[in-house]
Amino acid sequence: MTSTAASPAAAAPVRGPFRLAVAMLVVTTITILKGAMTTSTGSGLAYPDWPLSDGQVMPASSYTTIPGFLEHFHRLFASAAGLIALALAIWLQATGAGGRRVRICAWVGGSMVLLQGVVGGTGVLANLPAVTSVTHGTLAQLTLAMFAWIAYQLSDRYAATWPLTDVAPGAGRKLMLVALAVLVAQTVLGALARHTNNAHALWTHVGNSFVVFLIGAIATAFAVGRLKAAPGVAGLSRTIVTLQIVQIALGFVVLVIRNPDGKRPENVEDLGTAAVISVHVVIGALLTVLVATLAAHVFHATRRPGDDPAREFG
Ligand code: HEM
Ligand code: HEM
């Protein structure tokens, strides 16, 4: 990793790619909401084929039936996300803006979107086995977190965060990684509960929510207590803890209102219930994004002075 050698790439502005990365986050979040509504209403097999839907690019049933609308527009938003990811990677590649690491992240992120589409599509062709649906639900959140990391690396906050000299290098990193790991495990358990209707997975998900909360609280308290000189740590931490409380409360509502038989096509008759459950899925995704962003911020703020400069060029 080199320092700030003046090169044409060094001068490449990051404002444009940053905005595109934020647009990617918005479109992917809408895609996740659409996907969650597709699962919640049991509409995953509205079209038995892929990549086309009923052999068409824009079937009439996608705007005359609810399952068709949810599944087809989920596919369309996913395609838009794929195009934005590709544009972002090409932009960073062509201009060198932001440096080598963010460029690699953009290509990896783009590959994750592609993989996500392939897992979604092969799942449809295979009649939605749990293995593809659970992978699809979990990978969606990891993909969103990857683009949050990309946006963070292109942000003004990243460029303005200098190493904290009054804390040991690397302080708080392990705690943040454990907080992120238990959160991802929570998503896997939730997805298993959702797609297999397995009672063990469901109750482990409920129990693990308190582990998620406890470790999240410890990690954010540590970050606020020791790394408060890094701007943004306190605000991010507050939002994470608040959202965790909302999510646990909402989880109990979901537990009560969900169809005990799991995802079934008849769930489409109760769109309100499907929407509440889908909000639980989307808040899960936002929590993953926020904890991943805080982790990236803690890593960046606690690097050794002189290492890993604020923005690497070339
Ligand atoms: C950016 C790309 C994509 C993202 C982020 C994404 C995200 C999601 C999410 C979050 C769910 C809900 C999972 C759950 O609630 O457990 C879902 C469901 C689903 N997605 Fe995607 N998806 C993407 C692309 C696609 C594509 C290209 C297809 C093509 C067919 C697809 C097909 C499906 C299907 C069929 C479901 C319902 C699965 C089930 O109920 O078992 N997705 N998606
Ligand atoms: C911080 C805590 C929590 C997080 C981050 C979280 C996250 C999630 C996520 C992401 C999913 C869907 C996974 C997927 O399909 O992709 C899910 C499903 C679910 N969660 Fe949670 N959850 C939390 C706490 C809880 C609690 C406390 C309860 C119940 C008391 C709960 C009940 C459920 C249920 C019942 C489902 C499956 C819904 C269905 O069958 O459609 N969750 N959760």
User: Of all atoms in ligand 2, which is nearest to the CA of residue 188?
Assistant: 13
Choose one of 52, 56, 74, 288 to mutate for the ligand 1 pocket test, by most ligand atoms within 8 angstroms of C-beta. 74
Rounded CA separation 291/236 (Å): 8
pLDDT 10s digits, 179-219? 999 999 999 999 999 999 999 999 999 999 999 999 999 99
Q: b/e string for 226-260 if b means 16 or more Cβ within 10 A? A: bbeebebbeebbeebbebbeebeebbeebeeebbe
- Three-class secondary structure of residue 220 per DSSP: helix
In the chain, the amino acid numbered 306 is G
- Mean pLDDT, the chain, whole residue set: 93
Which amino acid, residue 2? T
Per-residue model confidence as pLDDT tens digits over 232-278: 999 999 999 999 999 999 999 999 999 999 999 999 999 999 999 99
Place of tokens 């649906």: 133
CA of 280 to the centre of ligand 2 (A): 6
Q: Are 33 and 86 in contact (CB under 8 A)?
A: no
How far is the centre of ligand 2, averaged over its atoms, from the C-alpha of 248 (Å)?
A: 8
Mean pLDDT confidence for 282-311: 87
pLDDT of 313 over the 90 cut:
no
Q: Which residues line ligand 2 (CB under 6 A)?
A: 40, 137, 183, 186-187, 190-191, 193-194, 202, 205-206, 209, 212-213, 244, 247-248, 251-252, 254-255, 258, 277, 280-281, 284, 287
d(CA 79, CA 27): 10
Task: Work out the angle at residue 29's Cα, subtended by the Cα atoms of residues 25 and 33, and round it to the nearest 5 degrees.
Answer: 175
Q: Is 143 in the pocket of ligand 1 (CB under 6 A)?
A: yes
% pLDDT > 90, the chain: 89
pLDDT value at residue 13: 85
CA 289-112-108 angle, 5° bins = 90
CA 17 to chain centre: 19
Give the rounded distance of the alpha carbon of 97 from its chain centre. 23
Half-sphere exposure of 262 (CA within 13 A, CB side): 13
**Residue range 45-102, pLDDT digits in tens:** 999 999 999 999 999 999 999 999 999 999 999 999 999 999 999 999 999 999 999 9
Q: Which tokens sit at 59?
A: 């079937």
